[in-house]
């Protein structure tokens, strides 16, 4: 869990409506681009993914293949 505080921030506490909308739209575009890249990678074969350096298993479980 993250805790965000504006007490020691150099940014003003009150942002304008335009900057808020711009920030939200920028985040939405970045999210859309990430999802588009994920969909493109999901379409690749296992061998192609392995060739470009993706691990064969989830690293968090410690079951990644050895090279």
Q: What is the pLDDT along the chain (67 residues), one digit of tens a residue?
A: 455 555 555 655 556 888 888 899 999 999 999 999 999 988 899 889 889 888 776 666 555 555 4
CA distance 55 to 34: 19
Torsion of CA 10, 16, 18, 21, to 10 degrees: 70
Instruction: Give the number of other CB atoms < 10 A from CB of residue 33.
Output: 10
Instruction: Please indicate, yes or no, whether the overall pTM of this predicted structure exceeds 0.75.
Output: no
């Amino acid at each position: 869990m993250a805790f965000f505080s504006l007490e020691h921030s150099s940014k003003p506490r009150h942002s304008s409506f335009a900057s808020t909308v711009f920030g939200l739209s920028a985040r939405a575009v970045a999210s859309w681009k990430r999802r588009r890249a994920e969909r493109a990678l999901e379409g690749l074969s296992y061998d192609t993914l392995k060739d470009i350096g993706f691990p064969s298993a989830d690293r968090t479980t410690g079951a990644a293949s050895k090279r």
